[in-house]
Structure 1
Amino acid sequence: MQTQHTHKLLTADCRFCSLVSKANAEDPIGTAGTCEHWLIMEISQPWPQEMFEKNPTIRGLMSLFEELIFNHGVKLKPILIAPDREYSYPGFTRVLYYYRPAKLFSQFEKQEFIVPETKSAALVTAIFKQLLQQPNDLSEFQQYQQQTSDIRELMVCTHAQVDLACGRFGNPIYRQLRKEYAPASKGKLRVWQTAHFGGHQFAPTLIDLPQGCLWGHLEANVLDLLVQRNGSVSGLRQYYRGWTGLSKFEQIVEREIWMQSGWSWLDYLKAGRVFAMEEVTEKQDADWAEVRIDFVAPNGSESGAYEARIEICDEVMSAFDSAKEMELEAVKQYRVNRLVKVE
């Protein structure tokens, strides 16, 4: 491992965790989390910090949600979005459900419903029971289903009540995307404000669905590249938190392949696995791992795999919450030391 190296930032001058992370050059890759299902629901603002306990609709769904995640190990990400004056309908609730369609895939499949508010909890319960493979019936909600699988959804965290950084840095990015990019898309792109979904040290942070990529430390001057994909992928390297179809170390390798392959890589069907890793305790991150990423071209014309070794290359200090008195922690940084196309 190289000698520890950090860029200095006087934390007394800074109350935003994302400024500490950025000043110390923390690499966001590998922090996207792993998902097989997304459940996204409109809930009106304001969003208090204790929203999950106080909102009656959400509170009533929490026991099922916890059963799915903690008892059955379902990789489900719940997201709350704010109703939008243009997209939303008073008295109705939008529910978006995305799911992993196959072992190898490039984007999540989508179902969207706009239901009367009184039916929103019943719809979410039916989706949860479907994931538990319990008897349920989504047919009664068929009349509320929307044909929107061709629409790209960009979701920006603006949830200042959970962390000030998301409000301070998320709002300008949200407003720019909503005002400039959504109208220009002719209905093919919608932009939403979301409640906290993790990683506020990377604010402004964004989810791009149906692809399922996460972005962080975003700046106004890279939005064109992110939305239009009209330049070199290397311009997005430092903002990429990873693709949620993979786990942490797989995400680090996947970025390296993307950097070499260009935009077309995002459409390749893929799956990953870690086949060797340093043995560590539960709370530690390994210093090294060996990873395999299998891929298939969208038209089936090419298939193969990459194998890679990742090793720790540095540690930087980061803050996980914004506060007057910042608590800093060391975060391991990684690089791909070997990447080979094996098949």
Structure 2
Amino acid sequence: MSICATASRALGEPLAGTAATARTWLLIEQPGPWGAKALTSSRLDPGLGRRLEEAARGTGVRLGLIRRPGRTAPTPTRRVFAAHVVPGQGWVHEASIPSDDAERLLALDLKELGAGNAASFLDEAHGVSGTPYTGAPLVCVCANGKRDRCCALLGRPLAAELRAAGTEGVWEVTHLGGHRFSPTLLVLPYGYAYGRADAALALAAQRAAATGRVLLDGCRGRSVWERPEQVAELAVRAAAGEERAEALTVRALPPGEGTAPLQVRVDHADGRRWTAEVVREVAEDARPESCGAAPALTARFEVARLTAEAPSH
């Protein structure tokens, strides 16, 4: 059976620069089946899902539903995680709310969460009384088969394997983008996404995050950056052998005249600096972006040139 992940893997489609973008992730536990647009097609009240989507629009917050791998019975409470992934400003908090009172999530100030201010998530006056999350790094495996069958065929078995091995912090999540890179996963607290993952890669990525590092194998990018910036950051990490998650900051430079490549500046905490020339390329071979979609020529970003500059101090 042909699936989009098989085609992407066979064509050697690069993973770098394909992570979904978000400054803050808000993950809401919702057991049971999910539809293609899970926030409005699950056992979560669809009206609530629509209002949460509207509240998150333009805030930098990306919403997702999560559930434990395997069949799970309804519980009297649901867990909620909020994770801000901006370098040097990151945090992960968790809360439990009554399963029958998810409406209280509407009291959260998503604009403030997107800006990195967790006050509303930690203040019971806003409906949620959160606390800092101190468990193992979260490993969220995309597993919504109604969105794309690759996520069911490849993602769900991976999540189940991790859970069966006793791995802490493992959840299934509704949508991470890039079905054709399944199995895909997001690792928090740093917000790096991975593709074509197996259990060994997932565990290695979790161990790396637990020690403040990034696993470069299979890495799609850090969600806080736009796609050209993700590519530039990963190129610098590969060139410099830098694995520390918080060592680099990235920003796109103002565009120049004509059709020059996009310039992306990557700064190291020790003063080193690189400029990456990033170009947008169109694949020569068509491939489906998701199962059931017609083959298309997909676009990707690549670093055409990486220049190391003199330290800034």
Tell me if both proteins adopt one fold, taking TM over 0.5 as the criterion. Answer: yes
**Bigger helix fraction:** 1
> Structure 1 residue 329 and structure 2 residue 311: aligned?
no
Q: Per-residue deviation at 1:68?
A: 3.8
3-state SS of 1:266 partner: coil
| Identical aligned residues as a percent | 21
The corresponding residue for 1:289 is 262
3-state SS of 2:169 partner: strand
3-state SS of 2:2 partner: coil
> Structure 1 residue 168 and structure 2 residue 141: aligned?
no
- TM-score, scaled to structure 2: 0.82
Alignment of 1:173-322 (within 5 A): 173-180=158-165, 182=167, 189-229=168-208, 236-237=216-217, 239-262=218-241, 264-268=243-247, 270-276=249-255, 288-296=261-269, 302-312=270-280, 315-316=283-284, 317-322=286-291
Q: For the Cα contact (< 8 Å) 1:34–1:244, is it kept in 2? A: yes
Counterpart CA distance in 1 for 2:244 and 2:214 is 13
Alignment of 1:83-94 (within 5 A): 83=68, 90-94=75-79
Q: Per-residue deviation at 1:20?
A: 0.9
Q: Per-residue deviation at 1:118?
A: 3.2
> Structure 1 residue 148 and structure 2 residue 133: aligned?
yes
Q: For the Cα contact (< 8 Å) 1:26–1:333, is it kept in 2? A: no
The corresponding residue for 1:99 is 84
Counterpart CA distance in 1 for 2:120 and 2:277 is 44
Number of residue pairs the alignment of both structures matches: 302
* Structure whose CA Rg is larger: 1
3-state SS of 1:249 partner: helix
Q: For the Cα contact (< 8 Å) 2:281–2:299, is it kept in 1? A: no
Distance 1:210 1:89, change over 3 A: farther
> Structure 1 residue 45 and structure 2 residue 57: aligned?
no
The corresponding residue for 2:21 is 34
Counterpart CA distance in 2 for 1:143 and 1:16 is 41
Distance 1:132 1:172, change over 3 A: closer
Counterpart CA distance in 2 for 1:114 and 1:311 is 44
The one-letter code sitting in structure 2 at the alignment partner of 1:49 is: A
Q: Per-residue deviation at 1:144?
A: 4.4
Counterpart CA distance in 2 for 1:277 and 1:199 is 30
The one-letter code sitting in structure 1 at the alignment partner of 2:221 is: G
Greater displacement, 159-168 / 144-153: 144-153
Q: Per-residue deviation at 1:198?
A: 1.4
Distance 1:125 1:61, change over 3 A: farther
3-state SS of 2:14 partner: coil
Q: Per-residue deviation at 1:320?
A: 1.2
Q: Which runs of 5+ in 2 are unaligned?
A: none
Distance 1:143 1:334, change over 3 A: closer
> Over aligned residue pairs, what C-alpha RMSD do you find?
3.5
Q: For the Cα contact (< 8 Å) 1:273–1:292, is it kept in 2? A: yes
Q: Per-residue deviation at 1:62?
A: 2.1
Counterpart CA distance in 2 for 1:255 and 1:330 is 20
Distance 1:277 1:202, change over 3 A: farther
Greater displacement, 136-145 / 160-169: 136-145
Q: For the Cα contact (< 8 Å) 1:106–1:211, is it kept in 2? A: no
Counterpart CA distance in 2 for 1:151 and 1:43 is 21
3-state SS of 2:165 partner: helix
Q: Considering Cα pairs closer than 8 Å and 6+ residues apart, tell me whether 1 or 2 has the greater RCO.
A: 1
Counterpart CA distance in 2 for 1:275 and 1:156 is 36
Counterpart CA distance in 1 for 2:214 and 2:124 is 45
CA deviation vs aligned residue, 1:153-192 (integer Å, no higher than 9, x gap): 000011111111111111222122222261xxxxxx4111
3-state SS of 1:122 partner: helix
Q: Which runs of 5+ in 1 are unaligned?
A: 1-13, 183-188, 280-285, 297-301
